[in-house]
Amino acid sequence: MGSVAAGLLGALTGLGGGVVIVPLLALAFHVNIHYAIGASLISVIATSSGAAAAYVREGFSNIRIAMFLEMSTTLGALFGAFLAARLASGIIAVVFGSVLIISAALSTRKLVEPLVAGPPDRWASRLRLSSSYPTARGPESYEVRHVPAGFGLMFGAGTLSGLLGIGSGAFKVLAMDQVMRIPFKVSTTTSNFMIGVTAAASAGIYLRRGFVTPGLVMPVVLGALAGSAIGTRVLVRAKTKWLRLLFALVIVVLGAEMIYGGVTGRF
C-alpha cells in the first residue's frame, strides 16, 4: 500500500514517488538506505512510464522542454550516483530530508511576475519551447522564461536524483514552475515524463554496485505503477492550489523524519 501511495503522489505532483518510497523502506522496514534508493530509482522509472503516456496523450506534457532539459539532468544523475557510493548512510539521510524541506518551502512561494509578462526568452524562441495546454476554457498558451537558468538548475536536480533516488521531480517542478514560469500542471506532467530518463541514468550504476535486489524492487514497482495509473486520472480534474498544498505537506513530514533518522543514527 505504501508504494501505491507513492505512485499516486508521484503522478499528482511530479515527484516521481521516490520521496515516499525511500523513507518508507528506510524508516518503516529498516532497509539499508542504499538499497532503498536503488529500489526507488527503479520504481521511479516505472512510475514515469505509467504516467507519461497518459499526460502526453492529454496534451499536458511539453516534449521539447523535456528532451532539452534531460541533457542536463542525465549528466547530473551520473554525478550524483558517483557521490552516493562515497557518502555514509546518515549523511545521505540528512541531505535527503533537508532537500525535501527546502523544496516544500520553495513550492509555497507565489510567482513574482505573471506567466506571460515581458518579451519572449530568446532561447525559448530558438528552441520553440513555448506551447499550450488544455483547460476547461480551451487551450491556454504560455511562454517559457529563463531557459539558461532552468538548464543549470536541472544539473542540480539530476545530481539529487542519483544521490537520493527521488527522481529529482521536486526540484524539476520547482525549476520549471517558479524559474522558467511554466504552468504548474505542465511542470508536473513534464517532470513525470523526464524523471524516468534521469532515474535510468543513475539506476545502472546502483545495479552494477549490487544495490538493486529483485525481491525488494518487484513489489515496490508493482505498487508504484498502480498508484501512478490512479494519479493520472485524478490530476486532470485536480486544482493547482490543492496540488501545491499536498506537495508541501507530504515532503515536510518525510523530510523531518529523514533528518531525525540520520542524526540519531537509525540508518
159 C-beta neighbours (distance < 10 Å), count: 24
- Residue 115: the pLDDT is 47
Cα(8)–Cα(21) distance, rounded to whole angstroms? 12
44 contact partners, CB below 8 Å, separation of at least 6: 10, 16, 17, 18, 161, 165, 166, 167, 169, 195, 196, 199, 224
pLDDT tens for the chain, residues 1 to 267: 667 876 676 666 655 566 778 878 887 888 888 898 899 888 878 777 666 777 788 888 899 999 999 999 999 999 998 888 788 888 888 988 887 787 677 666 654 444 455 566 888 988 999 888 988 788 888 889 899 999 999 999 889 888 887 767 667 877 888 888 888 888 878 887 888 888 888 888 888 889 899 889 988 888 877 877 777 677 666 665 666 676 678 778 878 878 888 888 766
140, β-bridge pairs:
133
Element spanning 133, H or E = strand 131-133
Task: For residue 211, give the nearest of 220, 202, 219, 198 by alpha carbon.
Answer: 202
Domain segments of the chain as ranges: 2-263
Q: Are 203 and 161 in contact (CB under 8 A)?
A: no
Q: Whole-angstrom Cα distance, residue 219 to residue 89?
A: 23
**Shortest CA distance to 46 belongs to which of 229, 235, 261?**
229
CB 63 within 8 A of CB 131: no
- Predicted pLDDT of residue 76: 92
The string over 165-183, giving b where at least 16 C-beta atoms fall within 10 Å of a residue's C-beta and e elsewhere, is bbbbbbbbbbbbbbbbbbb
